[in-house]
Amino acid sequence: MKKAKLLSSLLLAAVVTSSSIALANSPTTNENNNTISATQTLHKTINIDGVNVFYREAGPVDAPTILLLHGFPTSSHMFRNLIPALADRYHLIAPDYPGFGNSDQPAMDKFDYTFDNMASVMGKLVNKLGVKKYSLYLMDYGAPIGFRLASQNPERIDSLIVQNGNAYKEGLKDFWNPIRKYWNDRTDENAGPLAAFIAPDGVKWQYTHGVRDANTISPDNWNVDLRHLTREGNPSIQLAMFYDYQNNVPYYPEWQAYFRKHQPPTLIVWGKNDYIFPADGAFPYKRDLKNVEFNLLDTGHFALEEDGDVIAKKIREFLN
C-alpha cells in the first residue's frame, strides 16, 4: 500500500514537472496570429515619451522576469546568448538605452543624457510593459541605472545579479583617472583622451583585455557597438555620459543603505581581470549583503563572452 502511494506521488510529480516544462515552452500567437515559441527572442520597440526604445524579449510573460541592463559601450546585443539560455524558465527583457544600439538617438537639446534620465526611461519601460516585480541583471552602466530603480522601488525587486557593476568607491581605480580629470575640468583638452574609449581599438580592447583566449571573442561585438558609436552626434552623447558618471558616486551611500535595509538576494558574477571595474569593487558587496553568492571569474569586463554558459548556470541555480 505504501509503495503504491509512493509510486502515485512520483507519477504525479513527473506529470506536474512535465506540464510545467510544456507550458513554459508552449507556443503563443502574435498580433498577426503567427505561431511563435515562447522561448523565441523577439525584437520590439516601445515609445517612451516620444523616444522609440528597442528591446529584446523572450520567455513566458507569466514567468519570473529578469530586466537585463547593458553596459558601455554596448547594447542589449551583449545578452544575445544569455537570453535563449534562460528563456525556457524566465521572462527576459533587455532594452537599449536611448543613443545606444537600435534605440532612437534624440538630439542632445531634446533629451537629457544622464543616468537619472536613463533610469527614468527604464522605469517607464517596465511600467508600460506591465511588469510588477523583477530581478535585475546589472553590468557597467546598468548598475547605476538599475540601483536607482531598486532603491526607489525596493518592493518590486526580487533579486540582483551583479556582473562588473559598481556601487563602491573602491571599484573606481586607475582606469577612471582621465575621466576624473574631465570631471574636475570639462575642457576639450581633457575630453581628448576619452575619445580613445569609443575608437575601434579602444572598443575592441574592452572586450579582449583580461580574457583567457582572445580568439573566443567575436569581432561582431565591437563592430555592432561601433555602429551606434559612429553615428553623427553620438561621440558627444558618450562624453556627456562620461561626465555625468560622477553623479553616480554620491548615490553610493544610498544604494549601500538599500542593500543593508532590504537585503535583496544577490548573485555576483564578476570578471576578475577587468581593468575598468576591477574585483576591488566586487568584495564590498559582502559588507552590506547577507544573502550573497560571490563568484570571481577568470575573464575580463564582458564576462558573458567567455563565461556565458557558467553565468547562465549560476543564474538558474541562484533563482531556483
Q: Tell whether the model's pLDDT for residue 26 goes beyond 70.
A: no
Per-residue pLDDT reduced to its tens digit, 177-228:
999 999 999 999 999 999 999 999 999 999 999 999 999 999 999 999 999 9
275: which residues sit within 8 A by CB, 6+ positions away?
A: 174, 175, 209, 210, 300, 301
What pLDDT was estimated at residue 104? 98
Section 43-60 average pLDDT: 98
In the chain, the percentage of residues whose pLDDT exceeds 70 is 89
Q: How confident is the model at residue 39, as a pLDDT?
A: 86
Residues with catalytic roles: 301
CATH code for the domain defined by 36-319 = 3.40.50.1820
Confidence at 286, pLDDT banded by 50, 70, 90? very high
DSSP, residue by residue, 247-265? GGGGGHHHHHHHHHHH---
Interval 93-128: pLDDT, tens? 999 999 999 999 999 999 999 999 999 999 999 999
pTM for the predicted model, two decimal places:
0.90
Q: How many residues does the chain have?
A: 320
pLDDT at 10 over 70: no
pLDDT digits (tens, 9 = 90+) for 226-251: 999 999 999 999 999 999 999 999 99
pLDDT band at 272 (very low <50, low <70, confident <90, very high): very high
Residues with Cβ within 8 Å of 186's Cβ and at least 6 positions away in sequence, in order, are 243
pLDDT single digits (tens) 140-168: 999 999 999 999 999 999 999 999 999 99
Nearest CA among 133, 80, 73 for reference residue 97: 73
Cα gap 13→148, rounded to integer Å = 41
